[in-house]
Homo-oligomer: A and B are copies of this chain.
């Protein structure tokens, strides 16, 4: 029943040394003699001492925590990335703060405040759709070495980033459909203004051209990464005068909802149309039909992001090296794609 937690002072008194020595024994054991070390250890034990992080943070000007900014807390795509980030941070004694872009905005805070008010030493941003002025503010504040973009990024800004091979993944997807015999392929895009949306769409258009395939204007269907957009996109596809035999969706959530909406209209996948996603979220494999998709190793992405950020925070002057990591993707062929009817 420890009601009042003990301080460094208490430990020092019990061990019969100064607080400076206790501090050293704890944070840099080899600076003190073996005998002091054991006396301090014992004193820590008997007093039940726990460091007060608020005090240490104030003194060292470090918060020992990192903010992870998500576009949307409800999207399961991020769960495993968080797992990866958290694993690395915990290992280094860092805590993980989470916020979503919308809520930071709604509560009237500025993103930069997290860094400025000593709440976070750095941030991992998973939202490439940040308002341009927010991005500018971060950049102008000279905080680029405390910020890292993961999955998404901001074109033209000087932030380190880790992302996956979006371009290659998209080519793989289109080629897979082509190899199955599809010649009319549609694309459901991510949200307008999002980098991933552009990269994947551009790669799609590029490869369609490279394969010398037809591409009607209506075959590029605007969406975002949500379930609702997938349903809407399916309705748009159904309404097409000249339907395609295959559809490449910019995310799994989109693809799953797309297939579900088709199903509600009695259209069967892959018998009547092949559908692919991007991401390989957990449920993709359990869907009926199991979803053909492009796999991103989200755990590794999270780990890589956290490692890079920790390095930057620890060695802020190490400019240049390791500013960008691009992780491989892999095509996962399952049953939502088949030769055209």
List residues of chain B with CB within 8 A of the CB of A263: 288
- Any B CB within 8 A of the CB of A1: yes
Contact in complex: B58, A55 (CB < 8 Å): yes
Interface size class of chain A, counting residues whose CB lies under 8 Å from the partner chain: 35 or more
Query: Which candidate, A96-104, A171-179, A216-224, A313-321, is the interface stretch facing chain B?
Result: A96-104
List residues of chain B with CB within 8 A of the CB of A257: 286
* Assembly CA distance A96 to B107 (angstroms): 14
Contact in complex: A54, B63 (CB < 8 Å): yes
Contact in complex: A79, B86 (CB < 8 Å): no
Contact in complex: A260, B107 (CB < 8 Å): no
* Assembly CA distance A73 to B140 (angstroms): 34
Contact in complex: A117, B227 (CB < 8 Å): no
List residues of chain B with CB within 8 A of the CB of A20: none
Query: Which candidate, A9-17, A45-53, A182-190, A199-207, is the interface stretch facing chain B?
Result: A45-53
- Any B CB within 8 A of the CB of A210: no
Query: Which candidate, A87-95, A148-156, A239-247, is the interface stretch facing chain B?
Result: A87-95
CB distance from A234 to the nearest CB of B (A): 11
CB contact between A76 and one of B5, B76, B140, B259 (< 8 Å): that residue: B76
List residues of chain B with CB within 8 A of the CB of A259: 286, 288
Contact in complex: B57, A54 (CB < 8 Å): yes
Contact in complex: A86, B57 (CB < 8 Å): no
A275-288 interface code vs B (CB 8 A; 1 in, 0 out): 00000001101111
- Any B CB within 8 A of the CB of A125: no
A115-152 interface code vs B (CB 8 A; 1 in, 0 out): 01111000000000000000000001110000000000
List residues of chain B with CB within 8 A of the CB of A82: 73, 98
Return the chain B residue nearest A268 by Cβ.
B288
- Any B CB within 8 A of the CB of A235: no
CB distance from A298 to the nearest CB of B (A): 9
- Any B CB within 8 A of the CB of A33: no
4 smallest A-B Cβ distances: which pairs?
A76-B76, A260-B286, A73-B83, A54-B57
Contact residues of A with B, CB < 8 Å?
1-3, 5, 50-55, 57-58, 61, 63, 65, 73-76, 78-80, 82-83, 86-87, 90-91, 93, 95-100, 103-104, 106-107, 109, 113, 116-119, 140-142, 227, 230, 256-257, 259-260, 263, 282-283, 285-288, 290
Seed contacts A2-B116, A2-B141; 15 additional CB < 8 Å A-B pairs: A1-B140, A54-B54, A54-B63, A73-B79, A73-B83, A86-B103, A90-B104, A91-B107, A95-B97, A95-B119, A98-B98, A259-B286, A260-B287, A260-B288, A263-B288
